[in-house]
Structure formats: C-alpha cells, structure tokens
Structure 1
C-alpha cells in the first residue's frame, strides 16, 4: 500500500539520497522535481501516513520536524529500484532483439 502513491515513493527516494531533511526542505525538493507547488496540508498528510506506516521517522529539531527513512523505508526503496530496473532491462533486451 505504501507505494500506491507516487508522491510517497518520490518522498522516500529523496530521503534515501539525502538522509534526513526538514519538512519544508523536503517539500521544496519535491516541488522542484514536480515543477509545481504542493498543497501544504496534503503534503504533510502524506508525510504523516509514511510515519504512521513505519517507513519514515520524524524527530523535532528546535521548531522544525526532521524526517528520515526507517530501515523498512530504505528496504522498500531498494526493492522498488530492483523491480523497476528489471523491467527497464527487460525492455532494453526486447528492443535489442527486435533490432537484430
């Protein structure tokens, strides 16, 4: 269920690369990737869902919430990467075979 939303997947991918980020910095990076502004309420609801499902952890740093992947979240990103890589490689092989 956790990857039924592309936004959830993309947030986890950003944190996989970055480690930990403040909520606003994470939102800014996702907005840059999507090239659109995200509704703050919807964005933070997505983060809450990922925290509740055990894929992200949240800690307080002063007045800021800082988010990072849990081991379960990192494992899901790696699993998705392997699944996607397999499909891309399979398509590449089909294309190469068709060109022969």
Structure 2
C-alpha cells in the first residue's frame, strides 16, 4: 500500500518526561491502535538528539480520509488525551504529500 497523505509532528514534553511521551506514542503501534491499522503505512517516532524532551512523529496514510476515520476511534482518542496532559507546549504540525520513499525497521 502507498501513502497518499502524511504529516510530521514535533511534540515537546514537560521537562524530564520525553521518555514517557515516547513510550506512549509507541503504544500507537500495538494491535488495535492507529499505527497498527492497515491504512497507516508509516509511523515513525524519533527523539531529538539535542533535547530529550522533544519527540518527532512522522505518519503516512493511505488517504487523509482514512487517517481522520481511524483517529476518530476510541483507541486513538485515548492516546491523544493522554498526550495532551504531557505536553509543555502546543504541537507543531507539517502536512506532507508523500511522493516515494522507503521504510524498513
């Protein structure tokens, strides 16, 4: 499957909680969660090399509609609610139109 919609987000955790935020974001890959959906073709969580409380997430989806539908579900909304309480500031988002790439983990 190819990604036709994507975005990256930069999330800044409250001081000293970047590891917890990373762990929470990685639960998104567990069965029943958004990153495990067949419609999510890229779900990459990275920590900043210079600030351990800054976490970057890159997602690629089969379509924007699939992304919105999956994120309207209970599992995704639970993760979103938990993330909100961990942030020191509003997340920064950049929308993408995927062209081509590679992901192997």
What range describes the TM-score normalised by the shorter chain of this pair? Answer: under 0.3
More helix by share: 1
Larger radius of gyration between Structure 1 and Structure 2: 1
Q: TM-score, normalised to structure 1's length? A: 0.27
Higher normalized contact order (CA 8 Å, seq sep 6+, divided by chain length): 2
Q: TM-score, normalised to structure 2's length? A: 0.26
